[in-house]
Chains A and B, each alone.
Chain A
Amino acid sequence: MEVTSPTFKQNAVHALHDAQLQKALGNVRAGFIDKRRKAADALPEFDALRDAARDIKDHTLAHLDLYLEAYEQKVTDSGGHVHWAETAEDARRIVLDICRMQNARTVTKGKSMITEEIALNDFLQLAGIKAVETDLGEYIIQLRNEHPSHIIAPAVHVNKDQVEADFRRVHDYLPDDRDLTEPETLLDEARRVLRAQYFEAEVGITGANFLVAETGSSVIVTNEGNGDLTQLLPRVHIVIASIEKIVPTLNDVSQILRVLARSATGQDMSVYTTLSTGPRRKGDPDGPEQYHVILLDNGRTSMLGTEFQDMLRCIRCGACMNHCPVYHAVGGHAYGWVYPGPMGAVLTPSLIGVDKGGHLPNASTFCGRCESVCPMRIPLPKMMRHWREREFERGLNPATQRYGLKIWAAFAKRPRLYNFVTSMAIPLLALFGGRKKRFSFLPLAGGWTRHRDLPAPESRTFMQQWRERESGKQRAAA
């Protein structure tokens, strides 16, 4: 997909002026936050579970090679195939090879951010293979030729009237009097279309929320059941997952599951938690004939051992963006690539380079709300700051910012000079502030005064006044 992260500022302005989007973003603020809080409050051990979840992933990342190899062995033992993909291109090629071997014309897909990351749909389409998204939100944005604006609610930027218009445009056989005004009637229509696709598809592709080293299982959590049909009905099931999805045991999965849905949607558990282990065995009533797992690196190993390793704990619950004032203001598409919000602000520079994704870790107030709700206790603001350090070291931020900062720092490091200059400048500024005690415009402060007044200084600096007060005291004592 086209990367528009470098024009984040323009994307943001565009989003801020999109009235429909702004209305839809109100639903993010209203919907997710209270539900998460209620779910977390209802579980006394919630914070202890967050600690446990963090520790499980930290342990796994410290022994990633070991668990990945153990997992591969278990998958192979259960009759499946593991493919290692270093890059997105490798992963796409492996998918295509498997599809070609099946003479596949249609592929159904469960919701998967990793296939967004490798831009699989466009690639399959060019190869003449139809990829059908089966998650309702994903299906909607596929009809709209868009990308997800949220990692768990991909169509959160769209309202139901828009969905009706899209359905009527693409399902052009629908009679005009067919009711599509309610979510339920829209769902019925999508369901009818998708049912046929499940049976038509030769290959079903899902992501994975977890890969279990102990059993060789992949685990998906969904609310619609589409993932189950995607992985059970076609002849071939392909799981695509990045390497950090691995956890050692089923017990570990069950611990992390307790924080996942609560953090994401406020549910105790998602409606479906589905494990799949290898292809159909003798006597199984259903299941695929072939089971493939593509383990994708795509830049993850280069994060190991760096200040960004903690990001690999992420379980993609979306809580950080649900609580982010910047995400609330501009929505997911403004971030310009696959992953939006705070987790995207850290992950995007890691995966596509800080020269392209550099705006993202800068566009944060460091309010810390993301970290305060992250079930995996990922220090997101700290890592955004690390990206800013890398940018600064490489001289990637604008020259005006760098010079401005250097001049300021030169003063800040010389208290005498600083106090002298400010004691001259501040009374003047206070004078200009006049009786109103504020500026609606001030040269060099346009970034501030464009949107808000600047309160004027009261009078003289504190340091000036304090020095006089102290010397006055000494005179009085003498």
Chain B
Amino acid sequence: MSDSGQARPKVGLFVTCLVDLFRPQVGFAAVKLIEEAGCDVDVPMAQTCCGQPAYNSGDSADARDIAQATIRAFEGFDYVVAPSGSCAGMLKKHYPQLFADDPDWRARAEAFSVRVHELVSFLTDIMGLDAVAAAHPATATYHDSCSGLRELGIAAQPRALLASVEGLTLKEMRDPDVCCGFGGTFCVKYSDISNAIVEKKTQTIEASGAELLLAGDLGCLMNMAGKLKRQGSAIEARHVAEVLAGMTDTAPIGGKG
């Protein structure tokens, strides 16, 4: 953005609970990318989680309370951006549904929804980014996380930006659009089934020949990285934002080796 007098868009970062607790550098990578794309970023302190654990467990009352708090916390921002297709999908697609019987909040949730974007698609589709200034010499494979893919249509955007990363080669795994078996609380409630699903996933990841696994959702990444590590795989896992922001000098998710 130039100094043509146009104000820089104000972006509120929805950090997501997993990034906050387990992988802060994804949050800092997101801040860096959004700032470099020409926006001002702030992080409202009154945020915790998007509410999916409650919502998907049938506890819509708590989900509604959390949704209201989140909507309030992000008032005044031009955009609300989350480094997760799943959480962005919750904010964008499901918050309005939570207030189906409450016209006032429904309207607020819909107005909020319009401003919500997943990080990578925000960079490409809203800020018009088509390349990043990052380098990471590796052969990577990209997993399409389900909510990002099917609720928000995110598939081409991360691949396009990754193609601009110097030294990075993208090798597709078979069926990158098939679920990794995470599913939020599903992975502990039905851990045996979840395990069977992630085992098939890590087979396809291994078969791709890539040395680096990328995805846009930390939940899926922790599941797949955790399984790869348990299987003794040398494949490393990172959030796509880390690579796009050039922040890959730290340990990968679940450590090395």
Interface residues of A (CB under 8 A from B): 9, 12-13, 16, 325-326, 328-330, 362-369, 371-372, 382, 385, 387-393, 397, 401, 405-406, 408-409, 411-413, 415-416, 418-419, 422, 426, 435-438, 440, 445, 447-448, 450-463, 465-467
Contact = CB atoms under 8 A, between A and B. Distances in A.
Interface stretch (B106-114, B117-125, B195-203): B195-203
A372 B189 CA distance: 25
Nearest to B251: A437
A193 B65 CA distance: 64
B104 interface: no
Given A365-B179, A366-B56, A437-B255, A452 B146 contact: no
Interface stretch (B42-50, B127-135, B158-166): B42-50
A453 B49 CA distance: 23
Nearest to B47: A415
A28 to B, nearest CB: 13
B58 A391 contact: yes
Given A368-B147, A409-B66, A452 B198 contact: yes
B178 interface: yes
Contacts of B62: 405-406, 409, 412-413
A166 to B, nearest CB: 27
B187 interface: yes
Contacts of A405: 53-54, 57, 59, 62
Contacts of A458: 22-25, 250-251
A392 B59 contact: yes
A449 to B, nearest CB: 8
20 contacts: A329-B193, A365-B181, A366-B186, A367-B150, A369-B179, A392-B59, A409-B53, A409-B54, A409-B65, A409-B66, A412-B48, A419-B48, A438-B255, A450-B195, A453-B227, A453-B229, A455-B222, A461-B21, A463-B15, A463-B45
Interface string B232-255: 000000000000000000110111
Contacts of A435: 255
B226 interface: yes
A401 B189 contact: yes
Interface in B61-79: 62, 65-66, 69, 73
Contacts of A362: 186, 189-190
A47 to B, nearest CB: 14
Given A325-B179, A391-B58, A453-B254, A12 B20 contact: no
Nearest to B187: A448
Contacts of A462: 15, 19-21, 24, 27-28, 43
Given A13-B192, A365-B179, A440-B230, A422 B146 contact: no
A369 B254 CA distance: 28
A-B pairs with lowest CB-CB distance, top 7:
A365-B183, A447-B188, A392-B58, A437-B255, A388-B58, A452-B226, A367-B179
Contacts of A463: 15, 20, 43, 45
B58 A450 contact: no
B189 A16 contact: no
Contacts of A437: 251, 254-256
A467 B42 CA distance: 11
Nearest to A363: B190
Nearest to A422: B21
Contact of B191 (A387, A412, A448): A448
B56 A388 contact: yes
B84 interface: no
Contacts of A389: 58, 60
A453 B43 contact: no
B141 interface: no
A393 B66 CA distance: 18
B101 to A, nearest CB: 12
B142 interface: no
A415 B69 contact: yes
